[in-house]
């Protein structure tokens, strides 16, 4: 998709109804589907926010940013994710959290980002986080400056996400589950699953309306 088309339709994107849990569950692991809203609330989850950042590449095509997390002693080590993190009281809003974390992780100043809309919350059982995604964009091709939390920045073409060939299934093991089969996206030769894939599924439904 040309970025000019994305920009031309940005007001429509704001107005589009979100797919919510129905869109998310197309790419949700079975373990996530066991958590009802009541059960989630009973866990008193920690709040976090991420930014789905869209921008033009050097050829004027629409891309968005994913990151490969650095290795660390934690639940989401070396996984593919959006820039983002835990809410801090100094942030005041979750939108500010998404912008601050994006600046800290990949060096994009908050004032350069235009937020289009808030997406549906996603619950992550292993770490007990309730994540609020935000859809934002830049009008220029960015240069990323990653910090220690990010091993690699991954610039993904929106057209690749919209392709039927992007959806697959994989069997993997994590620090909290062994040999689980999960739906996933394969983007830039990376396997994207879990909460990130659920967010992408809602974004895909949204962008397919354009």
CB 206 within 8 A of CB 133: no
Exposed, middle or buried: residue 17 (CB in 10 Å: 0-12, 13-18, 19+)? exposed
Which tens digit of pLDDT belongs to each residue from 8-41? 999 999 999 999 999 999 999 998 999 999 999 9
Mean pLDDT of the chain: 94
And the tokens for 153? 């920045």
Residues 137, 27: Cα–Cα separation, whole Å: 24
CB neighbour list of residue 19: distance below 8 Å, 6 or more residues apart:
120, 201, 202, 205, 206
79 in a structural domain? yes
CB 191 within 8 A of CB 170: yes
Q: What is the CATH number of the domain that holds 38?
A: 3.90.79.10
CB 158 within 8 A of CB 4: no
Domain count, the chain: 1
The parent domain of residue 121 ranges over 3-204
Q: Would you state the pLDDT for residue 31? A: 87
Exposed, middle or buried: residue 199 (CB in 10 Å: 0-12, 13-18, 19+)? buried
Whole-prediction pTM: 0.95
76 in a structural domain? yes
210 in a structural domain? no
Which tens digit of pLDDT belongs to each residue from 124-146? 998 999 999 999 999 999 999 99
Residues 67, 9: Cα–Cα separation, whole Å: 26
Residues of the chain above pLDDT 70, percent: 97
């Amino acid at each position: 998709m040309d970025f000019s088309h994305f920009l031309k339709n940005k007001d429509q994107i704001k107005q589009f109804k979100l797919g919510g849990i129905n869109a998310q569950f197309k790419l949700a692991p079975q373990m996530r589907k066991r958590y009802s809203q009541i059960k989630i609330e009973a866990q008193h989850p920690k709040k976090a926010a991420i930014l789905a950042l869209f921008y033009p590449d050097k050829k004027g095509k629409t891309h968005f940013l994913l990151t490969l997390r650095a290795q660390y002693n934690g639940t989401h080590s070396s996984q593919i994710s959006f820039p983002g993190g835990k809410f801090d009281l100094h942030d005041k809003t979750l939108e500010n959290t998404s912008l601050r974390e994006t600046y800290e992780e990949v060096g994009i100043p908050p004032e350069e980002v235009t937020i289009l809309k808030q997406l549906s919350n996603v619950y992550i059982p292993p770490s007990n986080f309730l994540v609020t995604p935000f859809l934002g964009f830049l009008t220029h091709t960015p240069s990323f400056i990653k910090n220690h939390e990010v091993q690699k920045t991954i610039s993904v073409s929106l057209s690749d996400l919209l392709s039927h060939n992007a959806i697959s299934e994989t069997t993997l093991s994590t620090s909290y589950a062994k040999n689980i089969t999960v739906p996933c996206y394969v983007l830039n030769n990376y396997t994207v699953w879990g909460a990130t894939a659920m967010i992408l599924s809602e974004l895909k439904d949204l962008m397919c309306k354009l």
